[in-house]
Amino acid sequence: MTIAGIATPGKIIAVHLNYPSRAAQRGRTPAQPSYFFKPASSLAGTGGTIERPAGTELLAFEGEIAIVIGERARHVSPADGWSHIAQVTAANDFGLYDLRAADKGSNVRNKGGDGFTPLGPVALPASIAGEDGWRVRTWVNGALVQEDTSDTLLFPFGRLVADLSQHLTLEPGDVILTGTPAGSSVVVPGDVVEVEVDAPGAPGAPSTGRLVTTVTQGDVPFGDFGTKPAIDDAQRIEAWGSEPEHAAAVAAGLASPLDAPPAANDASAATGAEPVASGPVLTDEVREQLGRSAVATISAALRKRGYHDVFIEGVFANHAGDRIVGTAKTLRFIPFRPDLFKEYGGGFNAQKRAFDTVEPGEVLVVEARGERGTGTVGDVLALRAQVRGAAGIVTDGGVRDFDAVAGFEIPVFSQGPHPSVLGRRHVPWETDVTVACGGAAVQPGDVIVGDGDGVLVIPAAIAAEVAAEAAAQEDEDAWVAEQVAAGSSVDGLFPMNAAWRARYESR
């Protein structure tokens, strides 16, 4: 494989901290350089994509100047180090903070993924400028986010070559990533990152051109073996660059808030991997309690805890009397755009993945932006969900093949029928992320309960206490109904005064 005219290197060596601006951002300045290796399989060229793995949140870019060894180097001096460099190009040292703790500093997994080291597009001769004459710039979605020059480096290029050559032989074609300046931050699926290295002081200001990488969302979950993604608030702040930058990302809906649980491992997503409660949320007891509690009763328990906007508005069941109790698996559509639908609408897209991977007891919750002018599920996908044991489907959009879907056993709550196919209004975009369905925020793992009064969302962390209170209230209401049926007045009984309360508790 050849990228930017560079044959696959025997070694890719990256420097941890090298720019004063980045060291200041990190709050530490190293006395000596430190390094890590990146595998050749992580190499990519310009115009490619990088997957943010399913169930992760913090994929960060790092625009860098890459130097390519031209002459074998072993035990060279700092003064001679630059003479061993043949070419200079742009690099993007992508890293996944979710796996940062997995390898105790070696960065094997968080920096070694496929496509995590784009290079190019052009490698410039090192001779066109001195080692102090290079500039690196990075853009995200067209906005300049990084800019610095090699004359500010803590450890100049020649010194890096000399230092490494004390320990190992640098061979022609080996690549050294020389560090990133301040401004590195998190990117999400759909973002486009561009890195350019130039020599602005050289004749003609030669440039590598822009190294372009588009972020996509992976959909293959991590297995039940090996270290799982894990992050905390410190990692979130460091990945985004600072606490204010993280806060701005949260406000923009791009980042998880501080104190959020770690990202789930079985998801794919574009705005960030989503929190899921640890342990079983719907135990047999909780499921039974919710199964015999009316949505109206549950809503009162939620309202007492400050949860007022938990109703998925505007949806109704395709069978009278249907009930849903299950944990949420989410799917999100974005507005139709022909280029995006061409890229993301075909094949085993997000919609098909969601229906093909739903687990028994889960409820597929579909964000369709309240757009009822096309179908968001049809007979084949509804049948697939039923066969897989899904507890139900909730969409704030339309249902295609409505009569056929109504003939299935699986409960489906929607805005009603519409014959049009998905591409009329929607692009299937991402799964297992926080969605806004019918005006309610829904996270993967939240508990969904529906009946004739509608559908509501119970945050996973309070599902057990809400279920217990709702079930107790149902028992009380049933007793009150018995008294009313026997001729008692509702005055003092509904709600119960002290006398009626005493009778109830002594029954």
| 202/127 Cα distance (integer angstroms) | 10
Q: What is the mean pLDDT of residues 154-181?
A: 97
The answer to whether 67 touches 11, Cβ cutoff 8 Å, is no
Please state the separation of Cα 244 from the chain's center in Å: 20
The values of phi and psi at residue 108, to 5°, are: -55, -50
Q: How many helices (H) and strands (E) does the chain have?
A: 14, 29
H-only helix segments in 194-274: 233-240, 243-251
- In whole angstroms, how large is the CA radius of gyration of the chain? 28
pLDDT at 418: 93
Write the pLDDT tens digit of every residue in 204-226.
999 999 999 999 999 888 888 88
pLDDT at 242: 80
Between the alpha carbon of residue 413 and those of residues 7, 154, 399, 507, the distances in Å are 56, 60, 9, 39
The answer to whether 239 touches 58, Cβ cutoff 8 Å, is yes
Residue 83 has pLDDT above 60, yes or no: yes
pTM: 0.55
| 416/420 Cα distance (integer angstroms) | 12
- What residue ranges define each of the domains in the chain, with the CATH number in brackets? 2-216 (3.90.850.10), 284-465 (3.50.30.40)
| 68/84 Cα distance (integer angstroms) | 9
Residue with tokens 């870019």: 61
Helix (H) or strand (E) holding 505: helix 498-505
pLDDT at 260: 67
The answer to whether 399 touches 378, Cβ cutoff 8 Å, is yes
| 329/332 Cα distance (integer angstroms) | 10
Amino acid identity of residue 143, one-letter, is A
Write the pLDDT tens digit of every residue in 225-266.
888 888 888 888 889 988 778 877 777 777 877 766 654 433
